[in-house]
Amino acid sequence: MKTIAIAAAAAAVFVAAGVALAAAAEGEPETVIHACKHPSGGWLRQVTGPAQCRRREQPVSWNVEGPKGEKGDPGAAGAPGPQGPKGDKGDPGTVGTGLKTLDGVPCVAADSAAGEIKVTVGAGGDVTLTCEAAPDEQPPPPPPPGDAAKLVINEVDYDQVGTDANGFVEIHNAGGTPADLANVALVAVNGGDNAEYAREALTGTLAAGGYLVVPIELQNGAPDGLALLEGATLLDALSYEGAITAATIGGQTYNLVEGTALAATVADSNTADGSLSRIPDGKDTNDAASDWAFTTTVTRGAANVMAP
């Protein structure tokens, strides 16, 4: 009986497996097989889940397959496949096409000058190679000319505290090149009769941006004036404590007022140190009322500074 029971059990398992395989074929593949073991005889009854086992039956289950194993070594390379078909033959090139690659290659011209190869293909296919020297480089353009020299009367101290002494006029080169002073003169004009009463001839050169202090004792105005002349040409002028519009210098008449006349209240002082100055330093808009101011900081031979 025991042998038959075992054989019968094997048959039952086989039948159960067959049922499982059939179920797997009809739907999704099963990964676990469930069965119920009879309490006597070892018979197995396949079910869809443990809950279907009867009260005296014992549920059992097993996996359809075990875990996936590691990847095996690659197999040997197969035999090479048959050779593919031969491609179409390309169009033949021309001699000119090949020689065109020489265009622009450096070469030495007949006069030993550096040049480049030029390839020319004629209408009949004739190819000409020439070595053409590079054109001579043009010299760089000259630098733009600097600003011309520009001489201005820049600072005037004509009135001092107490007894007048140590008066001066400062000339400034506000241009970009040195100024030749060989034919330049500073002329003082009396406003009472519009005539010249003092003259200082300048000499040498004045560098661009430079200052020249001319010691001179000037009249205290109401009005008086200054003219900076190069020969007979008026370079700059200042009329202070009133307007001088017809000064006579060397037989010629000059207007010493630039634009709007300087107000009579803008004047040098005999109670406080200071000077009449172009503010900002070197400013020359040809308008005296805009360019000139009284400052209590005297800057003899240096840039002007505004101080009340």
* Dihedral angle, C-alpha 48, 53, 59, 60, nearest 10 °: -40
Query: Do 277 and 159 have their domain in common?
Result: yes
Mark whether 280 and 195 lie in a shared domain.
Answer: yes
Query: Helices (DSSP H) in the chain: which residue ranges?
Result: 2-26, 95-99, 288-291
Residue 88 domain-assigned (yes or no):
no
Q: How far apart are CA 105 and CA 2, in angstroms?
A: 103
* Helices assigned H by DSSP within 121-227: none
Instruction: Output the CA–CA distances (angstroms, integers) from residue 27 to 20, 22, 24, 30, in the order listed.
Output: 11, 9, 5, 9
Token pair listed for 281: 């330093």
Are 50 and 178 found together in one domain?
Answer: no
pLDDT per residue, tens digit, the chain (308 aa), is: 333 333 333 334 434 444 444 444 455 567 889 889 888 877 888 888 898 898 888 898 888 887 888 888 888 988 998 998 988 887 766 655 677 788 888 888 777 778 888 888 887 778 888 888 777 777 788 777 668 999 999 999 999 999 989 999 999 999 999 999 999 999 999 999 999 999 999 999 999 999 999 999 999 978 999 999 999 999 999 999 999 999 999 999 999 999 999 998 999 999 999 999 999 999 999 999 999 999 999 999 999 999 98
Same domain, 221 and 113: no
Report yes or no on 75 lying in a domain. Answer: no
- In whole angstroms, give the CA distance from residue 221 to residue 241: 5
Residue 122, pLDDT score: 80
**Residue 223 tokens, joined:** 């009005």
> What is the domain extent for residue 224?
151-295
- Please report the pLDDT score of residue 62 as a whole number: 84
What is the value of pTM for the model shown?
0.55
Residue 263 lies in a domain: yes
Whole-angstrom distance, CA of residue 270 vs CA of residue 66 = 119
- The verdict on residue 72 lying in a domain is no
Q: Rounded distance, CA 75 to CA 78, Å?
A: 9
Task: Give the CA-trace dihedral at 204, 205, 209, 211, to 10 degrees.
Answer: 10
- 229: amino acid identity, one letter: L
Which are the contacts of 236, defined by CB distance < 8 A and separation ≥ 6? 151, 152, 153, 227, 228, 258, 284
Identify whether residues 226 and 104 lie together within a single domain: no
Check residue 12 and give its pLDDT. 40
Q: Is 123 exposed, middle or buried (0-12, 13-18, 19+ CB in 10 A)?
A: exposed
Nearest Cα residue to 212 out of 166, 155, 164, 268: 155
Residues 102 and 13 in one domain: no
Instruction: Tell me: do 158 and 125 sit in the same domain.
Output: no
* Spatial separation of the C-alpha atoms in residues 71 and 274, rounded to whole Å: 103
Check: CB of residue 157 under 8 Å from CB of residue 298.
Answer: yes
Q: Are residues 120 and 207 in the same domain?
A: no
Distance CA 289, CA 285 (A): 10
On whether residue 141 sits in a domain, the answer given is no
Cα dihedral 152/158/160/166 (nearest 10): 80
- Say whether both 111 and 230 belong to one domain: no
Report the number of distinct structural domains present in the chain. Answer: 3
Query: Are 160 and 272 spatial neighbours (Cβ–Cβ below 8 Å)?
Result: no
Residues 125, 155: one domain?
no
Same domain, 58 and 106: no
Q: Residue 231: inside a domain, yes or no?
A: yes
Block residue for tokens 């190069």: 230
83 occurs within a structural domain:
no
